Amino acid sequence: MAMDQVEEVKSKVDIVEIIGSRVTLKKAGRHFKGLCPFHSEKSPSFIVSPERQSYKCFGCQEGGDVLTFLQKYEGYSFLEALESMAAKVGVTLQSYRPTEADSRRKKILEILSLASEYYSYLLNKHESGSVARDYLAGRGIRSESIKKFNLGYSPSQWRSVSDFLIKKKGYRIEEVEASGLIIIAGEGKYYDRFRGRVMFPLKDHKGVVVGFSGRTLSKDPQEAKYINSPETSTYHKSQMLYGLYENREAIRKEDKIVLVEGELDMIPSVQANVPYVVAIKGSAFTAEQAQIISRYSRNVYMSLDADSAGQEAIKRAVVIAETLDLSIRVVQIKGGKDPGDVAGENPTAWREMVKKAVLYWDFLIDSASAKSDPKSGEGAGEITREVIPALSQIANKVVQAHYVRLLATKLGVGESVVYEEIGRFNKKQELTHLRSVVSNIEQGAGSRSEELALYALSLLLQNFEMLRKNIEELELEWVGTSAVAKIISALVGWEREKFEIKEFAGKLPPELMPTLDLAYLRDLTRVSDVMREWEGTVHELEEVYVRERLKEITKTITSLNPTENERLQVLQNDFGRYSRRLSDLTK
């Protein structure tokens, strides 16, 4: 597509409106600010600029324009993001040349959609699907659920869906392989990945099939019970929440979301009239899944399997959820069964278990006390080791105080003792963090000079008309030959009376745009005295530069040959000059 039409679409879109409809933004000076949707944070570091029509997170460093945002947030391809925005602002895209990646993604999604229809046909209308129909009936899966979640069946033969796609539909072998549906076994040899399985189409939050999960119908204990699509350009297990698309409205309406492990936990829950549920595809709850969940509800009910792996997964999930300020409750499964078994056998009991879910901290203290005797010294130690790290994570001090009191009562000790243990744990964590920081410093991680230069550029770009006459105070040699130096050099040469960031950006080469955004989108709302901040930054920049020069000169002098007298004299003069300057700067 001609780039001028891409620019036309972007120029008519209000990035603040688009991002603001997905992320809560607040005005912060000339920019807008909010919590980053791409990583876990409690203090907002996500900046959106209406002037630059761009965004930047100063926590995870994600940034770009409105199309980049939609690609990252919605999982769109570039073309899908462009078409979406073009339709919104009423621009008819005359012609385009999709990129190779766009064409490949479109082809894969076509293949996956056709495969889903094929598997569904075999389950519902073909005689070979009777074995799968019988299995699902035996598991209590109703016909309306089969239809709602578009379940299917893959026959036991080596080539079924592959023959349908390659021989009948005309797709190339490498295209079908890229979709994850076949496995290559040699030159021109391949076979179906899913064979003899009930098929669950895996959809993204837009309802597009991006992969599959297959549950075996074989009695062979060597056969994997479940297999999933491999990681592809469309399927990423860490982002998958099975049932989210179908159950999204119920989740929003109830403002809560129940997390279970598998497909056959999720579907019986829906049938039991607990439709605000998704499956996380195993016991590993990821930060990406938490980010997606937070868009729908902040009230999370964990109902993983009752085995030790499921319980440990709940603890790990809380660490992730706490960073996003999600409220975590635990559904306590009675009788050691899986959620799907309870929901299928006794829907009323399942609804009651969900209704009586307890906050994670109550669950943790109760389960730890049940495993170890709180009245014995050994038991108290085990309970403390399990519970104290979790209590230390509670940000709300009132909530923390409640659970400190509860734990102290369980152990028969004073609350001050529990607080002392929390303090000891926090100190250990701080020491570990400090060692890491010191190690990074010793390895030369990060450059004070680079940070100061970028900060000076932020001050200049956001306050150019005020600082225009002071820019000469900053020597370009202090900032080296970096992208920052090149932008500052361009500012020095700016001759127009009025400074417009959009016009200025248009005169810079594309490779400088990331640095420009990094500086221009920086939050400076806390700077009350711009001139004083500028003078302090320039002063420190020069001081850092002078110190670095003295180090370099000292190193060079120590490596000189004793016969290099002239060179030594020059370096000694330079050393003296920089030493005097450093003395002036540090007075």
CATH number of the domain bearing residue 257: 3.40.1360.10
Q: Decide: 333 and 252 in contact? Cβ < 8 Å.
A: no
Structure confidence at residue 191 (pLDDT):
95
Structure confidence at residue 60 (pLDDT):
86
pLDDT in tens, 421-457: 988 888 887 777 666 655 554 444 347 788 888 888 9
Structure confidence at residue 441 (pLDDT):
45
In a domain, 129, yes or no: yes
Q: Decide: 36 and 45 in contact? Cβ < 8 Å.
A: yes
Single residue among 235, 270, 299 that ends a domain in this structure: 235
Single residue among 332, 356, 380 that ends a domain in this structure: 356
In a domain, 137, yes or no: yes
Q: Decide: 241 and 293 in contact? Cβ < 8 Å.
A: yes
Structure confidence at residue 153 (pLDDT):
97
In a domain, 95, yes or no: no
- Contact partners, residue 203, CB within 8 Å, separation at least 6: 209, 210, 244, 245, 246
Phi, psi for residue 64 in degrees, rounded to 5: 155, -155
Co-location of 73 and 42 in the same domain: yes
Co-location of 130 and 166 in the same domain: yes
**How crowded is residue 123: how many other Cβ atoms within 10 Å of its Cβ?**
23
CA distance 438 to 445: 10
Instruction: For residue 545, give Cα distances in angstroms to 75, 447, 477, 571.
Output: 44, 11, 9, 17
Co-location of 381 and 407 in the same domain: yes
Q: Supply the CATH number for residue 153's domain.
A: 3.90.980.10
Co-location of 577 and 469 in the same domain: yes
pLDDT in tens, 132-171: 999 999 999 999 999 999 999 999 999 999 999 999 999 9
Co-location of 261 and 220 in the same domain: no
The number of distinct structural domains making up the chain is 5
In a domain, 581, yes or no: yes
Co-location of 403 and 478 in the same domain: no
Co-location of 337 and 402 in the same domain: no
Co-location of 463 and 522 in the same domain: yes
Structure confidence at residue 112 (pLDDT):
97
CA distance 545 to 271: 69
Quote the domain boundaries for residue 494.
Answer: 448-585
Q: Match 């203090």 to its residue by tokens.
A: 43
Co-location of 66 and 139 in the same domain: no
Co-location of 560 and 453 in the same domain: yes
- pLDDT-flagged residues of the chain (< 50): 1, 441-446
Co-location of 132 and 183 in the same domain: yes
In a domain, 202, yes or no: yes
Co-location of 579 and 461 in the same domain: yes
CA distance 489 to 501: 15
In a domain, 552, yes or no: yes
In a domain, 344, yes or no: yes
In a domain, 565, yes or no: yes
- Contact partners, residue 161, CB within 8 Å, separation at least 6: 115, 118, 119, 154, 181, 182, 192, 194
Q: Supply the CATH number for residue 39's domain.
A: 3.90.580.10
Single residue among 198, 213, 235 that ends a domain in this structure: 235
